Amino acid sequence: MTQPNSKANILWFLPTHGDGRYLGTSTGGREVNFNYLRQIAQAADQMGYYGVLLPTGRSCEDSWVVASAVAPFTERLRYLVAVRPGLQSPTVAARMTATLDRVTNGRLLINVVTGGDPVENKGDGIFLDHDARYEVTREFLGVYNDLLAGKTVNFEGKHIRIEDGRLLFKPIQSPRPPLYFGGSSDAGIDVAVDSVDKYLTWGEPPAQVAEKVNRVKAAAGKRGRNLSFGIRLHVIVRETSEEAWRAADDLIKHVTDETVNSAQKIFSRMDSIGQRRMMQLHGGRRDKLEIAPNLWAGVGLVRGGAGTALVGDPETVATRIREYQDIGIGTFIMSGYPHLEEAYRFAELVFPRLEIERHGSSVQSRVNTGPFGETIGNDFRPQKQASES
C-alpha cells in the first residue's frame, strides 16, 4: 500500500509511430513530424508532466534521435527512451546513455526493452527464443550498469563478451539514469528484481495489477531489493462520463471486423506474456470492452502493447488512478488520441484532483483572464476559477 500523501509521477507519450483522431484507419490521421512531436513535448513540459515515453520498434522513429532533437526545446521534461539488449552492445548503449544524460542536464530515463515479436526480432537480426532473450538482457544489464557506475568491465557470458570495457564520460545522474522495465513472464520478473529500478505493467484491472505487484515485491524482497512500480495506460476524460464513453466509442468507429482480426492475428504470433495478457482482457470481442469499472479495452482491439484506457469524468478518472496508487503504483505513463489535445485535456481536468510530483522550477499554472474577452464584462475577473485551473 502507498502512503495516503504519496504523490504520483505522471508521464505522457510521444507518438513517433503516428497519431490521429481514430484508431484502425487513416481517416483523421495526421502527419507526425518533428514540429508536431516538439509541440507535444512542449505542451507536456508546460503542463507539468514528469516526462514522456518514446516507443521503440521498427514501426517508430528512433527514440534516441527524436529525444536528442526535441529535448533542447523543453526545460524540465524527462525523456524515457529504450535500450535494446541484443540490438546494441552494452558499452555503446552506456556511452549513448551518458551522453544524452549530460546534454539534457540529467533528464534521461531508460526503458529496457527485450522485445516480444519474433518476426520483428528476426528483421533486426535476433533469432533467440523468449528465455534466451532474457538471458541476453541479464548479461547486458550487468555490463551496462557497471560501466555507468564507473567500473572497468571484463566479462564473458553465454551471449556477451567484453574485455577492458570502460566509460570515460559519466552521466549526470548517479550512478546512472533510472531503469524502467516491463516483463510479465517468470524470466522477465527474474531479471527485473535483480537489475532495474522501476517495474512497469500494462493497464490490467486493479486486482491483476495488485497480484503482479505483490509477486514482484516478494521476489525482490528475497534478494534484498526494493523496486518502485509504474503502469502504462491510455485515458479518455471528458467533462461528463457520458461524453467520455461517447468519445471511446467514437475512437473505434472506423475499426472493421477485418481490421480487428488482422491485428489479433499479428498479436497472437508474439511470445510476449504481457501481450498475451492484454489480448485475454477482451478476446477480440467488441461487446465486453469495459473489463473493470471505467477500464476500457477497446484500444487493444487494434493496437499492440498498452491496450486499455481509463474512461470517465475527471473525478472518476482521478479515483481510478488513486486505486492503482493504493496497490503500489507510483508512476503513470498516459496517452490519448490525438496526443497533443489530450495532453492538455488530461492535465487540465485531472491534475488538479491528484497529488502530482513536481520537479525543478515547475510552478502551478496561471490563467490570463484579460483584458480582451476573458475578463467578464470588461470588469469582473473570475479569480476563483483562475486560481483553480
Structure confidence by residue, pLDDT tens digits, 329-341: 999 999 999 999 9
DSSP for residue 234: E
The pLDDT value recorded for residue 369 is 54
Residues above pLDDT 90, as percent of the chain: 68
pTM of the full structure: 0.90
The pLDDT value recorded for residue 376 is 59
Distance CA 374, CA 179 (A): 45
Name every residue whose Cβ is closer than 8 Å to that of residue 326 and which is 6 or more positions away in sequence. Answer: 1, 2
| pLDDT tens, position by position, 130-168 | 889 889 999 999 999 999 999 999 999 999 999 999 999
Q: What grid cell was written down for 293?
A: 469499472
* Mean predicted lDDT score pLDDT of the chain: 89
- 8 A C-beta contact, residue 256 and residue 302: no
Q: What grid cell was written down for 260?
A: 480487428
The pLDDT value recorded for residue 153 is 97
388 Cα distance to chain centroid:
28
9-255+306-358 maps to CATH 3.30.980.10: no
The lowest-confidence range among 116-120, 207-211, 293-297 is: 116-120
The residue whose grid cell reads 528465455 is 131
The residue whose grid cell reads 508546460 is 46
Exposure string over 55-74, b if 16+ CB within 10 A, otherwise e: bbbeebbebbebbbebbeeb
Distance CA 365, CA 2 (A): 27
Q: Which of 115, 154, 88 is nearest to 270 (CA)?
A: 115
Please name every residue paired with 81 in a beta bridge, in sequence order, or none if there are none.
Answer: 110
Coil/strand/helix, residue 153:
strand
Q: Decide if pLDDT at 3 tops 60.
A: no
Pairing of strands 309-312, 295-296: antiparallel
Distance CA 354, CA 177 (A): 26
Distance CA 117, CA 120 (A): 5
Q: Decide if pLDDT at 385 tops 70.
A: no
Which position has the higher pLDDT, 206 or 262?
A: 206
Cβ burial of 329 (10 Å; 0-12, 13-18, 19+) is buried
Rounded to the nearest 5°, which phi and psi values hold at 231? Answer: -140, 145
- Delimit the domains of the chain by residue range: 9-255+306-358
Residues above pLDDT 70, as percent of the chain: 87
Name every residue whose Cβ is closer than 8 Å to that of residue 247 and which is 6 or more positions away in sequence. Answer: 236, 238, 311
Distance CA 322, CA 31 (A): 35
